[in-house]
Amino acid sequence: MSADSLLAMGLLLLVDGATFAFFTTPLLLHYGHLHPAWQVAVIGSVASAVGSVIQLVLLRWVLRSGHPWMQRFAPSQEKLSRTLATYPAASFVALMVARATPLPDAPLKLVAAAVGYSPALYGLAILLGALPYYFALAFVGQVIKIPSWILITAAVAIVVGAGLDYWRKRRRREAA
């Protein structure tokens, strides 16, 4: 399997969707340069939807786990309560629209996991929302030839930024 193949892209997006989804945009821009935008959108959306369902199921397990060692992975009860108050219903359309934009969908994912939202419906909402968004990103990657080093730098910057944000929040909690 070639690293530039659609299968490789699909596997990368599946893993990305099942974890933190830091690399979706750089991957779509890169593979949009290599393949027709519609193929990148379809295969990428399916892979991301499968990865997101895996993440949802794991998140549900973490939230329901009574094991003390798992509690560090679960969001705090305060955060969950705040999210539930902010997003009282993780509806199909809300999930679909959230996935169709570059905005983070983590709050809705958390609500969906907490309320036991159907993984099949969740995956379908992610798939349908991702299709136009992924097509747009792949098309941009096709039209604007972004050098790989810029995409890699952007991906590293995203990870570093997320890590710094996590570290800053953790220090603030420990200081309180």
Residue 155 lies in a domain: no
Residue 124 lies in a domain: yes
Distance, CA of 112 to CA of 114 (rounded, Å): 6
The number of folded domains in the chain is: 1
| Mean pLDDT for the stretch of residues 37-48 | 97
Residue 100 lies in a domain: yes
Query: What's the pLDDT score for residue 60?
Result: 87
Neighbours of 122 (CB within 10 A): 24
pLDDT-derived band at 170 (thresholds 50, 70, 90) equals confident
Q: Which residues span the domain enclosing 24?
A: 6-144
Distance, CA of 162 to CA of 168 (rounded, Å): 10
pLDDT digits (tens, 9 = 90+) for 72-97: 555 666 666 666 666 666 588 888 98
Maximum distance among all Cα pairs of the chain, rounded to whole angstroms: 51
Report the chain's C-alpha Rg in angstroms.
17
Residue 157 lies in a domain: no
